[in-house]
Structure 1
Amino acid sequence: MNHLRKIILKFYTSYYALKIKKRAKSCGDYLYLGNKSYVTSNTYLGRHVSFNGMQMFGNGKIEIGDYFHSGMGCQIITSFHNYEGTAIPYDKSFIDKDVLIGDFVWLGNNVTVLGGVKIGDGAIIQAGSVVVKDIPSYAIAGGHPAKVFKFRNKEHFLKLKEEGRFH
């Protein structure tokens, strides 16, 4: 039974990986899916991207760098209702904002990233966070809204990067 489960899981992840590769504007080598994930047609994926349950919504451009990892239940939302339009609480138009995520970024479980945000290289976003503002490179941020509370050891990070020690 365990062997059959592995075969089913491999088929399941291969199926969703194929769907992502067909839908995304571009997709680098070595896309890994640990759980069902969706991208938009305006998504650009780097190399060695790992999704464990990512959902993307909206018309804004989404760029994700190399060696990206996401936990389960993550979302990136790039389109928002226009609450200053011709009707209340909002009209039929949308406001689209892009998202840029650098290399070696790690999102914990259930992180939401809203449009208009840039997350720098090597940043870590704590589980359950909502990212509404830019997060600088090497920052560790969390909360609702996410705030930087610590920085990675940049020298150690760069040494590991130079040695090619990637997960």
Structure 2
Amino acid sequence: MQRAGLGCFGRIATRLATWFAPPHKARVSLARMNPQGYIAPSVTIYHSDLRLGANIFMDERVVVFQREGGGPIELGDRVYIYRDTIVETGYGGSLVVGAETSIHPRCQINAYKVPIRIGCGVMIAPSCALYPYDHGVAPDKPIIAQPLVSRGEIVIGDGAWLGVGVIVLGGVQIGKGAVIGAGSVVTSDVPDGAIAVGVPAHVIKMRSDVAESHSPR
């Protein structure tokens, strides 16, 4: 699949489908009704190896892009990607997103150099960024001319939750059911079921220690 958005007839059909549907997140219902899912007319897809599960939802102005050497993007069943999110692969990187995962508005997921693997049932809040690579900083050349380097892949376990504005860097594994507080920068592994906050993120407690009626701050 390689295209700059939907074709003419696809855009017309999609717009017709939305005439009687409520706006924004409520349009997820359109994806649930159709195994082929719902891809908004303003979505831009430029990728030769995009593998879509059933009932996918891509909201307005989502961009799916492949740079040179970019590997596949695989989205499991009922993955929801909300508006203004950008998803890219390049330079040998690839992306897998498990079923029932939701990626909320304005996220940036750049799978360059190494894979990003996101499990099932993960919640990624608005304005999160996943960057498994960096630029070199050797003093003999400008930053723009530096090669890309990576400490390793990013892995996010099933059922994890990333709060608003979380940044995850390379070589990090976030465990199953872990919670990352808003605005945190994750530079090292987070165990299963842990709650981590801060810059850099550090574990403050385990979910098993928190009453169900309380949320982490």
TM-score range, shorter chain: 0.7 to 0.9
Query: CA 1:5–1:87 in structure 2 vs 1: closer, same or farther (change >3 Å)?
Result: farther
Identity, in percent, stands at 29
2:157 is the alignment partner of 1:102: yes
Q: CA deviation at 1:14?
A: 3.0
Residue in 1 aligned with 2:122? 68
Gaps of 5+ in 1: 158-167
Partners of 2:128 and 2:177 in 1: CA distance? 18
AA aligned opposite 2:132: T
How high is the TM-score relative to the length of structure 1? 0.77
AA aligned opposite 1:56: I
Count residues in correspondence. 153
**Residues 36-86 of structure 1, C-alpha deviation per residue, up to 9 Å, x if partnerless?**
222223110101010112211251210000000011110001220111375
Equivalent in 84, 87, 95 of residue 36 of structure 1: 84
Partners of 2:147 and 2:65 in 1: CA distance? 28
Residue in 1 aligned with 2:187? 132
Superposed, 1:113-132 pairs within 5 Å as 113-132=168-187
Partners of 2:74 and 2:194 in 1: CA distance? 27
**Residues 1-59 of structure 1, C-alpha deviation per residue, up to 9 Å, x if partnerless?**
xx969545339x73354567897521110012343222223110101010112211251
Partners of 1:29 and 1:20 in 2: CA distance? 19
In our comparison, the structure showing a higher alpha carbon Rg is 2
How high is the TM-score relative to the length of structure 2? 0.61
Query: CA 1:143–1:5 in structure 2 vs 1: closer, same or farther (change >3 Å)?
Result: farther
Residue in 2 aligned with 1:81? 135
2:205 is the alignment partner of 1:145: no
Partners of 1:8 and 1:46 in 2: CA distance? 25
SS at match of 1:153: helix
Residue in 1 aligned with 2:74? 26
Partners of 2:125 and 2:19 in 1: CA distance? 25
Partners of 1:130 and 1:6 in 2: CA distance? 38
The structure whose RCO (Cα within 8 Å, separation 6+) is larger is 1
Question: After TM superposition, which residue ranges in structure 1, 4 or more long, deviate above 6 angstroms?
Answer: 19-23
CA RMSD of the aligned region, Å? 3.0
